[in-house]
Structures are given as C-alpha cells and as structure tokens.
Amino acid sequence: MDFAFQDDQLLIVNKPAGLLSVPGRGDDKQDCLCARIQQRFPDALVVHRLDMATSGLMVFARGEAMQRELSRMFREREVTKRYVALVEGVLENEVGEIDLPLIVDWPNRPKSKVDHESGKPSLTRYRLLGIEDGDSRVELEPITGRTHQLRLHLASIGHPIIGDTLYDGRKAERLMLHATRLAFDHPITAKPLYFESDAPY
C-alpha cells in the first residue's frame, strides 16, 4: 500500500484504480482499500470516497472523533482537492466553471444525471493544462462533492473523461481521472498539510 502520510490521527493513502474504496454488496465486493488498511490500522475509518475506477489520494481517520472532525472539514470545504483528467476534445476555454445540478438516476443506477428541478447544486471548476493528441489534460476542483460529479459534469459539456464508459467516454485501459492533490490544516496540530500525487497517465 502506498502511504503518503501517517500519524496517530490520520492516514493519507494513494488508491489504485480498479479498487473499491469501501465494501460493496456481495461477497465478491468485500476487497477494498478500507479493508486492506484496517488490517494494518484497525482504527482506520473512511472520511470520503473515490470511485472504484478513480485513483489517487484519500484520507482515512484514526478513530471516530477524528472521523467526525475530518468529515466536518470536508463538509465545510476546509480541504482543498484537485484532480487531473484527460478528456475528449479541446476545451473552448482555458478556465471555467460547470454549474449543473445533479441527482442519482435511480432507474439507471449507478449513474447520476443532470436535473434542473430536483438536482442538488453542483459546481466544478476547471483549468486547461495542455492539449495532447487532440484531447485536453485538465485540472479539476470539485467545489461540491456529488456522486460522479466530475465525470458527469465533463460529459455534460461534451468532453467526457477518457475511459469513462458509464458516461459515453472513449474506451481506454482505465478511467483517466486521478486525485492529485490534498491540502488542509492538521486537525490537532493545525500544521498545514499538503500532498501531491502525479497522475499515472
């Protein structure tokens, strides 16, 4: 396991693509990052999740009190998160925002959908990093944290993430989405913490 940081309060782990964050339904979906970490750190608890197909940095709390505090920090946007994605086509603008309300598409789970009547407010900021063979490498900042937010927002503006077959992306060996940066103040020491993980594509 690839630990970026560990102390008595929290763990920062680099999740590989293709591994569940938490157990799913059924005996065949019990292997997950959380279970693997708990074998070594039995007090480790989930604070947030990454999709199975997404790789990159994840935070785990050690103990329930730290889980509550870190969850509060995520909820109140005291944690800075950045992702890097490869998306189809060339973005028209170098920087921008995608502001589209999202809701779980119950008849078509696990998909979500844009719904201007019932959807929850959802905001993603993006910055173009470069053009590669006619596609765009972008840095993404999710201001909200809806299910599949980054994937659906980009697909909705005509630039699905490469490898995201759930939202009509071009087939690839993996989903080209990586949680590349986390930054927040340590809940106990108040020391600024900053972690980076380069996208493996």
pLDDT at site 24: 82
Q: How confident is the model at residue 26 (pLDDT cuts 50, 70, 90)?
A: confident
Q: Are residues 35 and 101 located together in one domain of the fold? A: no
Judge whether 51 counts as a catalytic residue: yes
Tens digit of pLDDT for each residue in 57-88? 999 999 999 999 999 999 999 999 999 999 99
Q: Are residues 61 and 107 located together in one domain of the fold? A: no
Q: Provide the 10 A C-beta neighbour count for residue 192.
A: 9
Q: Are residues 60 and 126 located together in one domain of the fold? A: no
DSSP string, 62-131: ESHHHHHHHHHHHHTT-SEEEEEEEESS--SSSEEEEE--EEE-GGGTT-EEE-TTTPBP-EEEEEEEEE
pLDDT at site 1: 86
Residue 73 backbone class (left: φ over 0; alpha: ψ -120 to 50; beta: rest): alpha
- Report d(CA 55, CA 47) in Å as an integer: 16
Tens digit of pLDDT for each residue in 163-198? 999 999 999 999 999 999 999 999 999 999 999 999
* 18 domain residue, yes or no: yes
pLDDT at site 118: 96
* 21 domain residue, yes or no: yes
Question: Is the pLDDT assigned to residue 27 strictly greater than 80?
Answer: no
Contact (Cβ atoms closer than 8 angstroms) between residue 142 and residue 150: yes
Q: Which of 51, 164, 168, 185 is catalytic?
A: 51
- Can you read off the two tokens belonging to residue 168? 């009509």
If we measure between CA atoms, which residue out of 174, 147, 199 comes closest to residue 14? 199
Contact (Cβ atoms closer than 8 angstroms) between residue 187 and residue 65: no
Give the count of domains, the chain.
2
**What CATH code is carried by the domain that includes residue 108?**
3.30.2350.10
pTM here? 0.94
